[in-house]
Amino acid sequence: MDLRGITIDDVVPHRGAMRLVDRLLACDANHVVVAAEIRIDHPFASDTGVPGWLGIEYMAQAIAAWSGCRARRRKVPVQMGFLLGSRRYQCARSQFAFGTQLRIEAHCELFDNDGMGMFSCRILIGDEAIAQANLAVFEPQDPTFLESQTR
């Protein structure tokens, strides 16, 4: 996908402090790569950084970017999706230090017509993979899915 002129805000529905990823680096039919910088104003910041368990949310937002790119290719609105769960999350860091540049990659292993997906993900600092997991996600076909569930 040609990413010229596309920003992370164009493909990730998260806004404000809850959008943890900063840049869309690459995206195609099965892969996405995003970047994030750990900043002192992060909503989950401690005195020295951000907890390593938050890597799951970075991975989920990478998948959201993949979904947003997919929506743009199909010329439909970007929608909110849901993280259903994670398997085998391993992180070599108890926290991500301020100033650290993360590269988050997600590979689509499965995405069915009902909006269920499975992704293998990893987080890198430089060339070192410091976290990995498999994430299950759901993207409702009907954008009013949440409204219909609250009635």
- Residue 2 counted as domain residue: no
Structural domain range at position 111 = 8-149
Give the H or E element holding residue 3. Answer: none
Q: Spell 74-90 as b/e; 16+ CB within 10 A means b.
A: eeeebbebebeebeebe
Q: Give residue 143's pLDDT band: very low, low, confident or very high (50, 70, 90).
A: low
Whether residue 60 is contained in a domain is answered as yes
| Strands, sheet with 101-111, edge to edge from the N-terminal-most edge strand | 23-27, 31-37, 101-111, 116-125, 128-138, 82-91
Whole-angstrom Cα distance, residue 150 to residue 33?
Answer: 34
Taking only the tens place, the pLDDT of each residue in 11-47 is: 998 888 899 999 999 999 999 999 999 999 999 999 9
pLDDT for res 2: 73
CATH number at residue 86: 3.10.129.10
For residue 1, is it within any domain? no
Residue 133 within a domain: yes
In a domain, 3, yes or no: no
* pLDDT score for 149: 58
Q: Is residue 129 part of a domain?
A: yes
Please tell me the total count of domains within the chain. Answer: 1
